[in-house]
């Protein structure tokens, strides 16, 4: 015979519900953990992309620099920045 709580619900069905909820939450928890683990990779990708773009700026000729409105000095200053020095905040 199943015991009941003060609300008249079977304690067996409550523990079964708890197990079902845990099982339903597990894929969500796993997805959240995977997303959190991915953030450092996104940050690394952003740093490497920024470094690559800075190297590409170095290859622009004077006409191209004039077209985009920057000087060679601006480009030299930008490409001297460390690869981890990117604009914006680190993703949370």
Handedness of CA 55, 57, 58, 59 (dihedral sign): positive
Q: Distance between CA atoms of 37 and 29, rounded to whole angstroms?
A: 12
List, in sequence order, the alpha helices (H) in 1-92. Answer: 11-58, 62-68, 72-79
* Token digits of residue 4: 């009941």
CB contact set of 83 (below 8 Å; sequence gap of 6+) = 47, 48, 50, 51
pTM summary value: 0.48
Q: Are 11 and 4 in contact (CB under 8 A)?
A: yes
Per-residue pLDDT in tens (0 to 9) along the chain, 92 residues:
455 555 555 555 566 666 777 777 777 777 777 766 667 788 888 888 888 888 888 999 999 989 989 899 999 998 888 877 876 544 44
């Amino acid at each position: 015979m199943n015991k009941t709580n003060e609300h008249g619900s079977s304690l067996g069905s409550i523990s079964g519900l708890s197990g079902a909820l845990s099982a339903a939450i597990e894929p969500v928890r796993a997805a959240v953990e995977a997303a959190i683990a991915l953030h450092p990779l996104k940050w690394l990708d952003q740093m490497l992309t920024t470094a690559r773009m800075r190297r590409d700026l170095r290859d622009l000729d004077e006409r191209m620099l004039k077209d985009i409105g920057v000087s060679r000095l601006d480009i030299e200053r930008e490409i001297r920045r460390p690869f981890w020095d990117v604009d914006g905040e680190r993703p949370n």
